[in-house]
Structure 1
Amino acid sequence: MPPLEPLSTRVISPRFLSEAERITIADLASQGLGPTAIAELMGRSPSTISRELRRNLHPSGQYRPFHAHAAAASRRRRVRTTKLEADTELHAFVSDKLQQKWSPQQISRALRLAHPHDPGRRISTESIYLALYRPGVGLMTAPSPLRTGRDQRRAHCRQVRSRRRFAQPMISIHERGFDPTDRGEPGHWEGDLIVGPHHRSAIGTLVERQTRYVKLLHLASQDSLTLCASLAAALGPLPAGLRNSLTWDQGTEMARHLELTRDTGIRVYFCDAASPWQRGSNENTNGLLRQYFPKSTDLSQHSAGDLARVEAELNQRPRRILEDRTPAELFKALLASQNHPPPLR
């Protein structure tokens, strides 16, 4: 007769009960202790012990540790078919929207709006993320399912004392006259540059705070003269009610901001140094744009037409913050309220 194998003490994960722990549970339960008392002695949650005694009973109605351990291991090995794997139509819809750079949250909310009374035609945000991580589902291949390419949000850094960056006096964001969370009045914009490798190429980005409407600026260079001329061309034709202010960081590309104000009437405010969250809408948009223009990309290779296509795609995405409406439809309504024709793009 072959010798008995030694008792398995390998712990797969602290989340899972080991075989030795199940033997302890059986011993304590046989002494008449309940789940709460067993949990206290073992340093486990009472719900864990209660669930173990309920789910892994032997057919005889008794708790047998070796049978319980085998049953739990069998459930872990079982391959579960996800809703996306089982439903080809749902899989195709989710995959198509991901290719259009929709976020899992936007996809989930769109399905909920389209099928309010049919849970079978919906899928949660978390399920889409799990499918992106899971090999074999075939949703999409990407370095990271997150559109930012990062797993965690970056922490805000400490405020750095502002220094004078250029000759023309700056107007501080603290003189803007409204709270950063106040989006009640339209026509307030946030702007920035996204830059290519070695700062040799750049694209200008503008976001209207109320509607999150995006404008992209094709720049031949990053100097202040080029940027301010491009900003004037983008903002100047708008009605006065939609060019109330522009908030920028303290980059030297805005050295001619007073000339921009003179040409367009839009007042330029500057954030505190190293405080990108003071332009929250613009920072979020720049993160979305990195889907189209990765940091290693030479941005000069993208034509004005390329930027127009990306701009249109972003503005036609539904946003949860806008109650699932799109920036394009809200900005069009703003223009109509100002008796102004809609933008060509």
Structure 2
Amino acid sequence: MTCKHLTPNELVMIEAYFQTKQSVLTVSKILGRSRQTIYNVYNFFKKGFSASDYYKRYKENKTYCGRRPIILSTDQQTYVQKMTAKGWTPDVIIGRAEIPISCSVRTLYRLFKANYFDITKLPMKGKRKPNGHNERRGRQAFKRNISERLTDYTQFNEEFGHLEGDTIVGVHHKSAGITLVERLSKVIITLKPGGHKAADIEKATTAWLQSIPRNMFKSLTFDCGKEFSNWKEMSNSNDISIYFADHGTPSQRGLNENYNGILRRNGLPKKMDFNQVDQNFISAVASKRNHIPRKSLNCRTPLEVFLSYVNEEQLSSLI
């Protein structure tokens, strides 16, 4: 049963009944309150106090109710701020448990929401496109559809070696970078092509694939952008299966799309001219993300998971 406290109007009425010497039983029946409640208020009035005094005391006592706010120690605050600045999320900070944090994941998120920490450091949330948005890009024809992928690789969701790929364009759409994400380990690989056209994307991707052990990666899934129109040559020369997501459905390559947004915020913004940076720079941006633990990897870093499938000698040519 929910407890319903006396309202200011009820207190004024009880005070009026008290002054007219109405009995506790009569007042309790009129207001639908228990006799003990009315009796307690009457005793308060007998001491010379008023209804406003009673309500003021009630409001003061109410401030002591409820759970006390959680305050993290200085060391814990410093650690949380340091890790979020590196790109760690609250669930990873708690789950990784490098140092004990005296609150739950949900409470830590609430502290961010209450501006206890800088909420701008958290990953973006919400829709990036409004309802009813009609994607007009990527109507490439003669492609291998993503629906064929699971037929060709029945263990697709459990095995290592399947990539999702995309490009992130620079300022004025005159330059680009290539992003590739391995689905199982969530490691991201960034490449710098010589330009933003299909031939440039093919050349850079082929050069990278030929620098690593053949057949290390089994498949590549792109969106329907025209920059991947040379996919057949890329597939044949590197012996890798290439598929394309359905038109207007970035969620079919959600991991890659999410990483692209993260890279945009962490060193590769839209206003950047990729012609003015080198491979080492964009690789360094990706390397930072590969060293950040993820909840979906049991709070391990993508690099730690990736190394369980690839030795360090092979890694040097990959990332």
TM-score relative to the length of structure 2: 0.73
> 1: distance between equivalents of 2:138 and 2:80?
48
Is 1:123 aligned with 2:103?
yes
Shift of 1:281: 1.4
Q: Which residue of 2 aligns with 1:147?
A: 123
1:164–1:133 CA distance, 2 compared to 1 (3 A): closer
What is the CA distance between 1:28 and its match in structure 2? 7.5
| 1:188-219 superposed Cα distances (whole Å, 9 cap, x missing partner) | 11011122343233221100111111101123
Contact 1:22 1:68 in 2 (8 A): no
Partner of 2:32: 31
Give the superposition deviation at 1:131. 3.4
1:9 aligns with: none
**Letter matched to residue 202 of structure 2:** C
Aligned positions of 1:224-303 closer than 5 A? 224-293=198-267, 295-300=269-274, 301-303=276-278
The question of whether the paired residues in 2 share the 8 Å contact of 1:187 and 1:209 is answered with yes
What secondary structure, in the 3-state scheme, does the structure 2 residue paired with 1:132 have? helix
Structure 2 residue matching 1:246: 3-state secondary structure: strand
Q: Does the aligned pair in 2 maintain the 1:205–1:216 contact within 8 Å?
A: yes
Residue 279 of structure 2, aligned match among 301, 304, 314: 304
Partner of 1:175: helix, strand, or coil? helix
5+ long unaligned stretches in structure 2: 15-26, 46-50
In structure 2, the residue matched to 1:328 is 303
Local SS of the residue matching 2:191 = strand
CA separation of 1:70 and 1:265: change in aligned 2, threshold 3 A: same
Matched position secondary structure for 1:342: helix
Distance (whole Å) between structure 2 residues aligned to residue 302 and residue 61 of structure 1 = 77
Secondary structure of the equivalent of 2:150? Answer: coil
The question of whether the paired residues in 2 share the 8 Å contact of 1:160 and 1:272 is answered with no
Q: Which amino acid aligns with 1:175?
A: E
Quote the offset at 1:20 in angstroms. 5.0
- Tell me the secondary structure at the aligned position of residue 222 of structure 1: coil
Q: 1:172 to 1:325 in 2, by over 3 A?
A: same
Q: 1:32 to 1:122 in 2, by over 3 A?
A: closer
For 2:60 and 2:154, locate their aligned partners in 1 and report how far apart those are by CA, in whole Å.
57
Q: What is the match of residue 148 of structure 2?
A: 175
Deviations 1:38-80 (A, max 9, x none): xxxxxxxxxxxxxxx9xxx98x8999555334444x469x9x7
Q: How many residues align?
A: 287
Q: Distance in 2 between matches of 1:237 and 1:146?
A: 36
C-alpha change, 1:296 and 1:231, in structure 2 (3 Å) is: closer
Amino acid at match of 1:96: K
Cα-Cα RMSD: 4.1
Q: Does 1:341 align with 2:314?
A: yes
Distance, in Å, in 1 between the alignment partners of 2:106 and 2:173 is: 37
Q: How far apart in 2 are the matches of 1:61 and 1:309?
A: 71
Q: Report the alpha carbon displacement of residue 160 of structure 1 after superposing the two structures with TM.
A: 7.5
Deviation at 1:320, TM superposition (A): 1.4
Correspondences of 1:207-222 after superposition (within 5 Å): 207-222=181-196
From 66, 90, 98, the equivalent of 2:84 is 98
Cα separation, partners in 2 of 1:31 and 1:90, compared to 1, 3 Å: same
Tell whether 2:63 aligns with 1:83.
no
Q: Which has the larger radius of gyration?
A: 2
In structure 2, give the amino acid aligned to 1:225: A
Aligned to 1:68: 58
Structure 1 distance, partners of 2:112, 2:7, is: 33
- Contact 2:138/2:223 (<8 A) preserved: no
How far does residue 21 in structure 1 lie from its aligned partner after superposition? 7.8
How far did 1:334 drift? 1.2
Higher relative contact order (CA 8 A, sep 6+): 2
2:23 alignment partner in structure 1: none
Mark the CA change 1:68 to 1:218 in structure 2 (over 3 Å): closer, same or farther: same
Shift in alpha-carbon separation, 1:23–1:279, aligned structure 2, 3 A: farther
Give the Å deviation of 1:315: 1.2
Percent identity (aligned): 25
Does the residue aligned with 1:189 lie in a helix, a strand or coil?
Answer: strand
- 2:185 partner SS: coil
How far did 1:222 drift?
1.0
User: Does the alignment pair 1:132 with 2:112?
Assistant: yes
Where structure 1 has 5 or more consecutive residues not aligned to the other structure, the ranges are 1-16, 35-52
Give the TM-score normalised by structure 1.
Answer: 0.68
Distance 1:187 1:157, change over 3 A: farther
Give the 3-state SS of the residue equivalent to 1:290 in structure 2.
helix
Question: How far off its partner does 1:19 sit?
Answer: 5.3
Match of 1:38 in 2: none
| Aligned residues of 1:192 and 1:205 also touching (Cα < 8 A) | yes
Deviation for aligned residue 1:288: 1.8
Q: How much does 1:296 deviate?
A: 4.3
Report if aligned partners of 1:108, 1:122 keep a CA contact under 8 Å in 2: no
